[in-house]
Amino acid sequence: MLTHSPAETRALGRQLASTLKAGDVLLLWGDLGAGKSEFTRGVAEGLGVTSTVTSPSFTILNVYDEGTLPLYHFDWYRLNGVDELYEMGMDEYLGGDGVAVVEWPSQCPEAIPETHLAVHLTPVGDSEREVTFTPMGDFRPISLD
């Protein structure tokens, strides 16, 4: 799918949120500035999160529990290793009672769950993004119309 602005990238996240259920894990792949945080804001809006969604770059995890499902927003960019994730109770969040969104999953490949939805965001212009959804493991097919 092609989005033409940050607002459209956010709207695509909102649209995807309507298909999500407890235990779903989304891995967001893309370079700096690809739209990962904007997409996550859309997912949050679609889940009914009303607070401001910020990148958890320095905290690794932001929890938003005021929506229809809890949203666990991870940023693995500054991780020092998988032990740091397990110390914070990552297994309670990935595949748990809410939706987990992980930015920078490449920083800790050994922590990536087998079943997840890979979301690739690729800039193809100043504000255009190519967004692809790839179900991995037993993740169900995604159809957004």
Instruction: Determine the pLDDT at residue 71.
Output: 96
Give yes or no for a contact between 63 and 96, defined as CB atoms under 8 angstroms apart: no
Work out the pLDDT band at 15, boundaries 50, 70, 90. very high
Element (H, E) at 16: helix 6-17
The answer, yes or no, to whether residue 58 has pLDDT greater than 80, is no
What is the sign of the dihedral through the CA atoms of 73, 20, 112 and 118?
negative
Single out the residue of 57, 45, 143 nearest to residue 103, CA to CA: 57
Beta bridge partners of 74: 61, 102
Residue with more model confidence, 51 or 78: 51
Instruction: Determine the pLDDT at residue 33.
Output: 87
How remote is the C-alpha of 65 from its chain's centroid? 15
Calculate the alpha carbon distances from 18 to 14, 47, 136 in Å. Answer: 7, 7, 19
Token pair for residue 49?
């999160």
Mean pLDDT calculated for residue range 41-63 = 89
